[in-house]
């Protein structure tokens, strides 16, 4: 069983050409996600798009044969004003997600890549960014940054754009002005990029995959029952449900009864199975705490 539990959830990055699939792949691998080739067998799809969902994106999302998460890449280009482009992109993702019934997350891909790849924030890049803290350049547009008069060599400016783009440059410079070192700049870029929101979404989407693996084993050992219960709890929590974490005998029994009733209600097959596994695991814990199964079974 440990072999099955330890297998990573395999992720395939797909989407239309030009939307940043390679960047998103690099980001996810840098964050520790098991990304496989687009043609390889996978457990979960990450569908990358830019600006908005086109008809072909919608078809791919609604017809996917496996769990799928959509990523609005280049979220830093969504628009300025208000709380900033990523905040605007987050709201756009919410609306798009409602329209297709698939979770959609924003990502500022280049900033995220710089946050997870130590090779990007090297001495040359950090030195150039520190120069910009003391001698600001025009970050109003790519052309103005490249062609404006500045002490940074053209090649260095081009590299900053390739590696960070204007959004990443601005956030890195702000962090440095506040006294940040390399690690703090990386953390600032990670936060600005919305990477952690996407990773959380992938964890939620992967929960049913991990559960189905365990549910298919069919073992009734204490270890198997506990593992299926833990995986089932991940699934229901991923959709916002609360599972009582109290470890008292009374709480175990209360949880078992509640989730057994839930499993018999008008819920999907997946959630019915999860409810039953949470109930089964809770009863096993209750028995260990001194509960008597016969007494429960005898009650009307």
Would you list the domain boundaries of the chain?
2-108, 118-192, 218-298
Q: What pLDDT is stored for residue 27 in this prediction?
A: 98
Structure tokens at 242: 């609360």
What is the CATH number that goes with domain 2-108?
A: 3.40.50.300
Q: What pLDDT is stored for residue 198 in this prediction?
A: 98
Q: What is d(CA 205, CA 228) in angstroms, rounded to the nearest whole number?
A: 17
- Is pLDDT of 66 > 60? yes
Considering the chain, what is the average pLDDT of its residues? 92
Q: Measuring CA to CA, which residue among 260, 277, 163 is closest to residue 212?
A: 277
**Span 33-47, mean pLDDT?**
95
- Is pLDDT of 297 > 50? no
Of 82-96, 140-154, 158-172, 216-230, the least confident: 216-230
Q: What is the pTM of this model?
A: 0.88
Q: What pLDDT is stored for residue 219 in this prediction?
A: 75
On the 0-12 / 13-18 / 19+ scale of CB atoms within 10 A, 101 is exposed
Cβ–Cβ < 8 Å for 160, 125:
yes
Q: What pLDDT is stored for residue 299 in this prediction?
A: 45
- Is pLDDT of 239 > 50? yes
**Span 37-54, mean pLDDT?**
94
- Is pLDDT of 295 > 70? no
- Is pLDDT of 300 > 90? no
**Span 66-75, mean pLDDT?**
96
On the 0-12 / 13-18 / 19+ scale of CB atoms within 10 A, 269 is exposed
**Span 105-132, mean pLDDT?**
96
């Amino acid at each position: 069983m440990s072999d099955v539990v330890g297998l990573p959830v395999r992720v395939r990055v797909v989407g239309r050409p030009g939307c940043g699939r390679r960047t998103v792949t690099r980001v996810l691998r840098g964050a520790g996600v098991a990304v496989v080739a687009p043609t390889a067998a996978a457990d979960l799809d990450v569908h990358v798009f830019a600006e908005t969902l086109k008809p072909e994106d919608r078809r791919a999302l609604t017809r996917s044969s496996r769990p799928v998460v959509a990523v609005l890449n280049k979220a830093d280009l969504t628009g300025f004003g208000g709380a900033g482009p990523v905040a605007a992109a987050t709201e756009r993702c919410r609306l798009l997600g409602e329209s297709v019934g698939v979770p959609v997350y924003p990502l500022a891909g280049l900033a995220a890549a710089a946050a997870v790849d130590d090779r990007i924030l090297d001495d040359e890049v950090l030195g150039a960014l520190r120069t910009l803290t003391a001698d600001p350049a025009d970050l109003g547009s790519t052309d103005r940054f490249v062609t404006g008069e500045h002490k940074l060599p053209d090649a260095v400016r081009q590299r900053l754009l390739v590696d960070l783009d204007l959004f990443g440059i601005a956030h890195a410079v702000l962090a440095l002005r506040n006294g940040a070192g390399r690690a703090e700049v990386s953390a600032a870029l990670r936060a600005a990029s919305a990477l952690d929101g996407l990773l959380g979404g992938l964890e939620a989407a992967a929960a049913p995959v991990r559960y189905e693996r365990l549910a298919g084993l069919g073992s009734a050992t204490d270890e198997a029952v506990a593992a299926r219960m833990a995986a089932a709890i991940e699934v229901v929590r991923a959709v916002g449900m609360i599972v009582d974490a109290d470890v008292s005998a009374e709480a175990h029994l209360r949880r078992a009864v509640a989730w057994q009733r839930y499993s018999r209600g008008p819920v999907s097959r997946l959630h019915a199975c999860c409810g039953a596994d949470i109930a089964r695991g809770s009863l096993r814990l209750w028995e260990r705490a001194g509960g008597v199964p016969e007494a429960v079974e005898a009650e009307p």
